[in-house]
Amino acid sequence: MKDAIFSLNGKETVYQPGQTVLEAARAAGVNIPTLCYLKDTTPTGACRICLVEIAGARTLMAACSTPVAAGMEVFTETDRVHNARRLNVELLLSSGRHDCMICERNGDCRLQDLAYYYGIKEMRFPQDQDFYPTEEENPFIVRDFTRCIRCGRCIQACNELVVNRAISYGYRGKDSKVVTGGDGPYLGSECVFCGQCVEVCPVGALTEKKARGKARAWETQKIRTTCPYCGVGCQQWLHVKDGRITKVTAVEDGEPNMGRLCVKGRFGYDFIYSEDRLKTPLIRENGSFREASWDEALDLVAGKFKEIIAKEGPDAIAGVSCARSINEDSYQMQKLFRAVIGTNNIDHCART
Amino acid sequence: MTNSFRDFAKAKMILVIGSNMTEAHPVAASLLKMAVIGGAEMIVVDPRRTPLVDLANLHVQIKVGSDVAFLNGVMHVLIAEDIYDKKYVESCTVGFEELKQKVLEYTPERAAAISGVDADTIRTVARRLAANRPAMLMYTLGITEHTCGVDNVMSCANLQMLLGNVGFECGGVNPLRGQNNVQGACDMGALPNVFPGYQRVDNPQAREKFAAAWKVERLPEKPGLMIPQMIDGLLDGKVKAFYVFGENLANTEPDIRHVERCLGAAEFLVCQDIFPTETTRFAHVVLPAAAWSENDGTFTSSERRVNRVRTASAPPGEAKPNWWIFKEIARRMGHVWESDSARELWDNEISQLAPSLAGIKYFRLEGNGLQWPAPSLEHEGTPYLHKDGCFTCGLGVLKAIDWRPPAETPDEEYPLVLSTGRRLYHYHTRTQTGRSEGLNVLLGEETADISETDADRYGIADGETIAVRSRRGRVAVKARVTPQVPPGMVWMAFHFREGCANWLTNPVYDPITLTAEYKACAVAVEKIA
Ligand code: SF4
Ligand code: SF4
Ligand code: SF4
Ligand code: FES
């Protein structure tokens, strides 16, 4: 069989049957800008940013939802394409309150990037003024409708990536809005606060409430780690500024979660900063605890263990390791019990 | 798990039994739900109408603790109708005759009488599974937290082998691990009978190997105590010193009153943790530890994937990494250990000592980690075990298993079944989630979930505080009237100290694993006032 070939900016390019123009172009190293496109979900063609010119087609086509056909001639960087994309960016800018300076996503916003790269110098169109009120009545997610570009990524993510099916499009035309069932706030709806909608929102319409005002995107360092809760082992980015986690997002191509997190993995990180943390060794004395140095506490433990081994034998000591802590800690604890104390009385809650 | 999470999204046929995945393993559930909206068929076996049921083709609402009877009934149909995988059974397994004799005793009608599922549904399940292969079977603690937990697990394995579903992508027997590193703690030998890498302590060669590596003359050969035995040992004096690392036993073990009596009796209790807990109250010494993001290290997930954990910030005050604390105690007892970081521990000790981890070194874990077994540095890891039905230790063993009821069943005085589990917004005893801002807003207290039928029968309104009593204790807790719970059942979690299910649960255990029967005990509910 002949290889499937199409022409991309005048160059013969191989594609996999079934690929969209966007996928084939990206595979060939040609970048096409997108806003609403969301990997692994049904393309919606909502934003018209990915427009390309196809020889023989009357109008420009959305690369994200047009399948490649053999022999197709596609142009991604013509003047016509540029003008159309720029116009669409301008329309999106005017559709909301895009005063970037006071937006949480400043510096990490796809619309801002597009406005910059398409050289937009001024707001040519009057800005919409009539917005739905911002919703903050929950602990984790701020819904700022003034910045929503109605790209629908949140809806795609909620319905197709995490399949929580909590949100959809509501109302028509200029009034259109992302709604929960019954258009109530997230709190009290089907929403389970996984924050996947926040993760995929390209602009500042959905943001993490706990992260607000904590750090600008360019001030943080991203550290990859593994979620501390259940046994799925989701891969996370910790966004860290000055040694403090400001928010947590998912590693997009990380196995096994491939860009997903749940409510605990995404929002349950700040326990480490709790005032309740144990900060010094404690020794019980006359019925209450007093602070102690490491030397004193460790000497006491080692001394007491030696005494009990001498008197009762090593099997009078038993230990439970922690199924939440790292492998190396469990290894070290069983080694302490087996090699130093001399007993196999080591277990952990393998069964809960 | 024999298979990988990535199979969840690709599976064509799915059997979920005893797993409330949407709440306990939400991302795994998302992958599964993607498969279902993409056309996969899903059967959910659970006494409760869990959220997953909304997407299921079939919800098999078995009675609590009837899993073996139900599964035997399904296998009966597979054999009686001659629709099991004969070739697989002949070439990959042993024990078929015994299994056959046993399951033939479980006609669909008999299985129906025990499980409360009608006989035709049992037939349907068997036929659907036979027609649609491989099926991927997932289970969680609904299978294991029973006095017959091991029987339940083996029955799941029986079914999958009979169908010829073990050893293939999107097949297998897949227990989802409750905690992030239960898999790892087992792999590391934090178990009374095995060294790291599941090498048995009663095997002289294994002892010799570890003694040489750890530079000691001899290692103990007698398998040690399991947690429930340790706890009881405190009371009868067999255990004098007890070292509890990171577990909140005073809330997580069944029958809190008894557990606290035992902890109170300890001659010397050491607790090593990141927070004061209900358990540290009983300690003689408390050692402050570094937490999740204050450590470099590794976790091993349910899919046997070794993943890196990285440091984002320094521990507060004097808190120290756990491995350092153990090392310092060892030094004070005359043993000087070389490794001085998690990385050194892994690269120079763990992966040298456990053959299935030999190919895993930190430098290979930068991206997506590696799934063991990975026996050499060239090995790419193992996404699914028992490839094409070739079992690691010879043939797959089919076991004849009889159904046994839970240790405590409802009677006149305690007419309802209490079953327990986890909820979405909290984790275990809330030591972490309770201190993460916001989660308490989404779920602020424990409830006792009951059916509308029982609410009517006892005249209980949704949100009313009621008493739930068992032979162990009594709690006052808000009632949540919900269609999720079948009549005859009370369902609770153990996230909140007040209203914790473990004041009520029954300290009876599976004879082999000593897993407690958290999923079934008898209770009564009554109005307060
Ligand atoms: S909230 Fe964000 S993701 Fe959702 S439609 Fe608006 S801009 Fe797009
Ligand atoms: S938080 Fe999760 S469940 Fe809620 S709307 Fe967003 S994606 Fe959907
Ligand atoms: S993010 Fe959620 S599903 Fe993923 S590992 Fe953490 S707790 Fe489990
Ligand atoms: S990315 Fe193609 S239409 Fe939005």
Domains, chain A, in order of start with CATH, read 4-77 (3.10.20.740), 126-273 (3.30.70.20), 282-347 (no CATH)
Q: Which chain B residues touch A232 with a CB distance below 8 Å?
A: 5, 25, 27-28, 176, 301-302
- φ/ψ of residue B404, rounded to 5: -130, 140
If you average pLDDT over residues A4-21, what whole number do you get?
Answer: 94
Fill in the amino acid letter for B322.
N
Q: Mean of the per-residue pLDDT values for chain B?
A: 93
CATH code of the domain covering residue B348: 3.40.50.740
Give kind and range of the element (H or E) at residue A280: none
Whether B275 sits inside 8 A of A261 (CB atoms) is no
DSSP B391: B
Lowest-confidence region among A121-135, B140-154, B301-315: A121-135
Atom of ligand 3 nearest to the CA of B301: 5
In whole angstroms, give the CA distance from residue A24 to residue A52: 13
For A277, which residue in chain B has the nearest alpha carbon?
B275
Spatial separation of the C-alpha atoms in residues B278 and B286, rounded to whole Å? 12
Q: Quote the domain boundaries for residue B303.
A: 182-380
Q: Tens digits of per-residue pLDDT, B461-478?
A: 999 999 999 999 999 999
- Provide the pLDDT for residue B432: 85
The reply to whether B424 and B355 lie within a common domain is no
Residue at which a domain ends, from B117, B149, B176: B176
B148/B209 same-domain check: no
Query: Would B405 be classed as within a structural domain?
Result: no
- To the nearest whole Å, the CA of B24 is away from the closest chain A CA by 7
d(CA B10, CA B310): 31
Among candidate residues B83, B179, B184, B185, the one with its CA nearest the CA of residue B126: B83
Q: How many Cβ atoms sit within 10 Å of the Cβ of residue A104? A: 23
pLDDT at res. B393 = 67
pTM to 2 decimal places? 0.94
Domain assignment of residue B388, yes or no: no
Is the confidence at residue B353, as pLDDT, over 60? Answer: yes
If asked whether residues B321 and B427 sit together in one domain, one would say: no
Residues B310, B190: one domain? yes
Model confidence at A62: pLDDT above 60: yes
Min Cα separation B484/chain A (Å): 15
Query: In angstroms, how far apart are the furthest CA atoms of chain B?
Result: 69
CA distances from B258 to B68, B261, B502, B505 (A): 30, 5, 10, 11
Both B331 and B362 in a single domain?
yes
What is d(CA B450, CA B463) in angstroms, rounded to the nearest whole number?
11
Is residue B341, in this structure, part of any structural domain at all? Answer: yes
Structural domain includes residue B400? no
pLDDT > 80? residue A129: no
Which residues' Cβ are closer than 6 Å to ligand 2? A 157-158, 162, 164, 166-167, 186, 191-197
Decide: B246 and B271 in contact? Cβ < 8 Å: no
Residue B139 and residue B46 share a domain: yes
Largest CA distance in chain A: 93
Residues 12-41 of B with CB under 8 A from A: 22, 24-28, 30-31, 33-34, 36-37
Shared domain check, B124 and B38: yes
| Chain A environment of B442 (Cβ under 8 Å) | 138-139, 187, 193, 263
Whether the per-residue pLDDT at B433 is higher than 50: the answer is yes
B184 Cβ contact partners less than 8 Å away, ≥ 6 residues apart:
A323, A326, A327, A330, B298, B299, B300, B306
Contact A228 B238 (CB under 8 A): no
Give the C-alpha separation, B319 to A260, whole Å: 32
Q: Average pLDDT in the A191-200 region?
A: 97
A:101-130 residues touching chain B, CB 8 A cutoff: none
- State how far the Cα of B345 lies from the Cα of B341, in Å rounded to an integer: 6
| Residues B375 and B451 both lie in one domain | no
Q: Which of residues 227-286 of B touch A (CB under 8 A)?
A: 227, 230, 233, 238-247, 249, 252, 267-268, 270, 273-276, 283-286
Q: Does one domain contain both B121 and B191? A: no
Domain of B24, CATH number, reads: 3.40.228.10
Task: Give domain status of residue B406, yes or no.
Answer: no
Task: Select from B125, B142, B488, B183 the least CA-distant residue to B306.
Answer: B183
Interface test with chain A among B4, B21, B33, B307, by most A beta carbons within 10 Å = B307
- pLDDT for B194 equals 95
- Is the domain of B67 the same as that of B164? yes
Q: Which of A209, A283, A326 is nearest residue B342 as measured by Cβ atoms?
A: A326
Q: How far apart are CA B23 and CA B29, in angstroms?
A: 8
B127 with B50, same domain? yes
Q: Is A233 in the pocket of ligand 3 (CB under 6 A)?
A: yes
CATH of the domain at B483: 2.40.40.20
Q: Is B386 inside any structural domain? A: no
Burial A67-93 (b: 16+ CB within 10 A, else e): ebeeebebbbeeeebeebbbebbbebb
User: Would the pLDDT of A126 be above 80?
Assistant: no
pLDDT band (50, 70, 90) for residue B440: confident
Q: Would you say residue B399 lies in a domain?
A: no
pLDDT at B407: 93
Q: Is the CB of A157 under 6 A from ligand 1?
A: no
pLDDT band of A1, cuts 50, 70, 90: very low
CB atoms within 10 A of CB B336: 8
Among A191, A271, A291, A309, pick the best mutation site for testing chain B contact (most B Cβ within 10 A). A271
Two structure tokens written together for A80? 């016509």
Q: Which of B112, B143, B176 is the last residue of a domain?
A: B176
Q: Are residues B209 and B151 in the same domain?
A: no
- Based on its alpha-carbon atoms, the radius of gyration of chain B, rounded to whole angstroms, reads 24
* Cβ–Cβ contact B336 with A under 8 A: no
On whether the CB atoms of residues B384 and B303 are closer than 8 A, the answer is: no
Q: What is the mean pLDDT of residues A188-217?
A: 96
Q: Minimum-distance ligand to the CA of A65?
A: 4
Asked if A16 contacts A28 with a C-beta cutoff of 8 angstroms, the reply is no
B-chain CB neighbours of A142 within 8 Å are: none
Q: What values do phi and psi take at A170, rounded to 5?
A: -130, 160
The two tokens of residue A30 are 């040609």
User: pLDDT category, A352, cuts 50, 70, 90?
Assistant: low
Of B124, B154, B176, the domain-final residue: B176
In chain A, the percentage of residues whose pLDDT exceeds 90 is 90
Q: Whose CA is nearest to atom 3 of ligand 4?
A: A45
The response to whether residue A303 sits with its C-beta less than 6 Å from ligand 3 reads no
Identify the CA nearest to B139 among candidates B19, B303, B15, B1. Answer: B19
Atom from ligand 1 closest to the CA of residue A178: 5
Q: How many domains does chain B have?
A: 3
Each residue's pLDDT tens digit, B190-223: 999 999 999 999 999 999 999 999 999 999 999 9
The pLDDT confidence band at residue A351, using thresholds 50, 70 and 90, is: low
Contact A244, A213 (CB under 8 A): no
Rg (CA), chain A: 28
DSSP state of B382: -
